[in-house]
Amino acid sequence: MPDTDLDTETTMKWWSLYVEMAVSSIAPDIHEEVTRKLVRYHAATTTGHDERFAVQLTVNADSLTAAIKAATTAISGALNEATGRSADAVRIEAMTEEEFDAEQEAAAKAAAVPELMGRQEIADLLGVTPQRVNAIARTAAWRAAVVPVQTLRNGALYLADQVRDFAASWTRAPGRPGKNA
């Protein structure tokens, strides 16, 4: 629930802002000093576009305009104290903390490593030996349905979803019974 300033009865929101300043080539020790000066904003500094000094921080404000003003004032002040130079903001991305959290969660899901299977996992799924998996992997049906994601010294890794799809349509050829039979 948003905080309320009892004096003004204005609803306050937490805002997440990414701000790039019109200054570049900032030494690592200056990054650390500015981060310390902005600790109350949970700030993190980085190098942004065109090597510009950038800060990601959180502020509590009653509007987007007030959040931008608070963030740029705090960053400019900390940068001026740390370097003796002033700089204007040249790029600002701002959103509510809820929007930021949702965006970060979506990005984390998109970047998640998919489930993979190697030779032994495929053998367990198909009910065959790992050696038989090698033979199956050479068939046209396998190559049409399953593409290796990475090949390591120990063998190829495949997307588990592709392997399961193959297994659902695979008909075991006559011959020796499965290893679990």
Element (H, E) at 163: helix 160-169
Q: Which CATH architecture has domain 4-110?
A: 2-Layer Sandwich (3.30)
Work out the number of other CB atoms within 10 angstroms of the CB of residue 75.
26
pLDDT tens for 7-52 read 545 689 999 999 999 988 888 999 999 999 999 999 999 998 888 9
In 3D space, the residue among 93, 28, 25 whose CA is nearest the CA of residue 56 turns out to be 93
Q: Would the pTM count as exceeding 0.75?
A: no
Contact 22, 52 (CB under 8 A): yes
| Cα 100–Cα 14–Cα 52 angle in degrees, nearest 5 | 60
φ/ψ of 73, rounded to 5, equals -65, -45
